[in-house]
Amino acid sequence: MAKTREQKNVAVDKLINDFKRAKSVAFADYHGLTVPQVDELRSKMREANVSYVVAKKTLVNRAAKEAGYELDAKQYKGMLGIAFGTEDEIAPARVLGDMSKTTSVQIVGGIFEGAIVDQEKMVSLSMLPSKLELLGTVVGTIYAPVSSFVRILDAIREAREASEGAPAAAETPAEVSRESEKTAESVGATPSVAQQEEETSAPEAEAPSQEETKPEEAPKQES
């Protein structure tokens, strides 16, 4: 059933709004898709916060021109599907690129950074990770040195706590032997208090008197 002029105008107004709001647009030929595959494509588009519509090329041209793009949608072969990305610029091309690996859908062109781009440009964009994945990679790269430094500090702290809480090392048998020898030498070199008192209290021996030591005279012989 053909659309009335009023229905076409409503469709064009919606397309104009989509073109103006979109950060990027991907055009695809969806010819040959089965009904389940179309449902799968729309489901993935919703998950990626991408608006996906199917429209006649003449209406697409009118809407694009009203939004400020000099687009000739008739250059694209097949049945035209349009994916509008309002949050992630890569999402429209990435979703279509993923579907093209297992279905007949093909990217034919698009709009990126305010300019109409060819198929090759959009296919290369479809191979990039999502915006969220790119941000995660950048943040991980920035904080990787910081997290490594924190782990090093934690390891140093744990090692210090373990060393402070460990008991004193027991003396080896060799150390004990050396200490015993030193003690024995010290005891032998220093007399005890009792020995000192005994030595100081002992009386000194008196020298013999001269009388005791004077030799006896021999007896005189009578003449």
Please say whether the beta carbons of 107 and 122 come within 8 A. Answer: yes
pTM for the whole thing?
A: 0.58
Position 46 scores a pLDDT of 94
Position 156 scores a pLDDT of 74
Position 222 scores a pLDDT of 46
Please say whether the beta carbons of 84 and 21 come within 8 A. Answer: yes
Per the DSSP assignment, residues forming a β-bridge with 80 are 29
Distance, in Å, from the CA atom of 124 to the CA atom of 102, rounded to the nearest integer, reads 18
Low-confidence ranges of the chain (pLDDT < 70): 1-2, 130-150, 165-223
Which CATH architecture fits 5-128? 2-Layer Sandwich (3.30)
Position 33 scores a pLDDT of 94
Report the Cα–Cα distance between both ends of the chain, in Å, rounded: 195
Query: For the chain, which residues make up each domain, given as ranges?
Result: 5-128, 129-159
